């Protein structure tokens, strides 16, 4: 029997947690939660903040022109120059709106939004910091990101937009060249799994290729390849973000096979791919 992948998207579960659903939508979702242990586990995962929000907001914080915004605020609030930025913002917001210079209001709100955004979506254990650089750069971080992305993919995702096989072969040639790895169809095809699409991403300046298959029994399965040197390692198994993973490395590339399929399905496929691609 094929796995049931239907149900609310993460956006619907987040809306439920935020109290943003209509009474009817809330009642329908609560009915499903009462009968679906997997869905309850997913809701609990989102409620605990066990998602890669830290990396996302680190990127936002890194790109945000905070220094420039604070400089604008300081310049616009000359009478408040002796105050710390947070105190200056509070003092500004207490003033009548018509007494606040537009530049000060814009800069203050931008800094406020940056702080609220990080605080709203980061788990409590990340406050007030977002972890160390060593945690974010760990060899396992890319596997968490790739697993989390595939968790949003269902069988309907793949079957609703089938790809032409000639295009898939062309895509394999393009991404194989990018990785410096032979990804001809005979090396990546898997028995009983239909090769559905090929995508090229980047993870911290390294090319990341995702080759997605359709397993009629277990839904999407993806072979992910990161073009980054890593010590050779034989296939091992783990579970991340609700997904099963078999991972290994060849020295010049890191690999993972990820999906909802059980370990007894993924492990032999990973061994087969490791022999072909390493």
At CB < 8 A and 24+ separation, what contacts does 186-195 make? Answer: 187/276, 187/277, 188/223, 188/273, 188/276, 188/277, 190/221, 190/269, 190/272, 190/273, 192/216, 193/221, 193/269, 195/165, 195/168
Q: Where are the domains of the chain?
A: 55-125, 138-277
Write out the two tokens for 91: 């003092």
Is the Cβ–Cβ distance between 241 and 148 less than 8 Å? yes
Tell me how far the alpha carbon of residue 37 is from its chain's centroid. Answer: 23
- pLDDT in the model for residue 23: 84
Angle between helices 10-17 and 23-35 (to 10 degrees): 110
Distance of alpha carbon 173 from alpha carbon 88, whole angstroms: 56
Residues in Cβ contact with 191 at an 8 Å cutoff, skipping those fewer than 6 apart: none
Pinpoint the alpha helices (H) of the chain.
10-17, 23-35, 37-47, 53-63, 66-76, 85-94, 102-121, 133-136, 141-150, 155-159, 165-179, 185-188, 263-277
Residue listed under structure tokens 């709106």? 97
For 138-277, which CATH superfamily applies? MucB/RseB, C-terminal domain (3.30.200.100)
pLDDT greater than 80 at residue 176: yes
- pLDDT in the model for residue 161: 82
- pLDDT in the model for residue 20: 79
> Per residue in 55-105, pLDDT tens?
544 554 555 556 665 666 666 555 544 444 455 445 544 555 444 455 555
Angle between helices 102-121 and 85-94 (to 10 degrees): 120
- pLDDT in the model for residue 188: 97
Give the pTM: 0.54
pLDDT greater than 50 at residue 133: no
pLDDT greater than 70 at residue 276: yes
Angle CA 267–271–274, to nearest 5? 135
- pLDDT in the model for residue 120: 40
pLDDT average, residue stretch 177-197 = 95
Distance of alpha carbon 132 from alpha carbon 142, whole angstroms: 16
Residue listed under structure tokens 């079957």? 159
112 versus 226: which is more confidently predicted? 226
Distance of alpha carbon 89 from alpha carbon 39, whole angstroms: 42
- pLDDT in the model for residue 14: 79
Is the Cβ–Cβ distance between 67 and 79 less than 8 Å? no
């Amino acid at each position: 029997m094929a796995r049931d992948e239907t149900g609310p998207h993460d956006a619907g579960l987040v809306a439920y947690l935020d109290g943003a659903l209509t009474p009817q939508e809330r009642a329908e979702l609560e009915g499903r939660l009462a009968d679906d242990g997997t869905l309850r586990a997913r809701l609990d995962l989102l409620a605990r903040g066990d998602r890669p929000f830290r990396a996302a907001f680190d990127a936002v914080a890194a790109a945000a022109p905070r220094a420039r915004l604070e400089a604008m605020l300081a310049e616009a609030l000359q009478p408040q120059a002796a105050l710390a930025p947070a105190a200056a913002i509070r003092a500004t917001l207490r003033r009548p709106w018509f007494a606040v210079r537009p530049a000060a209001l814009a800069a203050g709100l931008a800094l406020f939004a940056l702080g609220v955004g990080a605080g709203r979506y980061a788990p409590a254990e990340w406050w007030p910091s977002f972890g160390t650089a060593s945690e974010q750069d760990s060899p396992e971080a890319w596997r968490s990101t790739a697993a989390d992305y595939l968790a949003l993919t269902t069988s309907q995702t793949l079957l609703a937009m089938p790809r032409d096989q000639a295009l898939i072969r062309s895509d394999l040639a393009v991404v194989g060249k990018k990785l410096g790895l032979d990804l001809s169809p005979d090396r990546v095809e898997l028995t009983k799994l239909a090769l559905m699409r090929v995508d090229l991403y980047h993870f911290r300046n390294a090319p990341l290729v995702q080759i997605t298959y359709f397993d009629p029994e277990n839904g999407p399965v993806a072979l992910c390849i990161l073009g980054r040197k890593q010590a050779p390692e034989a296939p091992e198994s783990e579970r991340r973000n609700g997904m099963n993973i078999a991972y290994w490395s060849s020295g010049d590339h890191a690999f993972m096979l990820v999906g909802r399929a059980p370990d007894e399905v993924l492990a032999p496929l990973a061994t087969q791919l490791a022999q072909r691609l390493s």
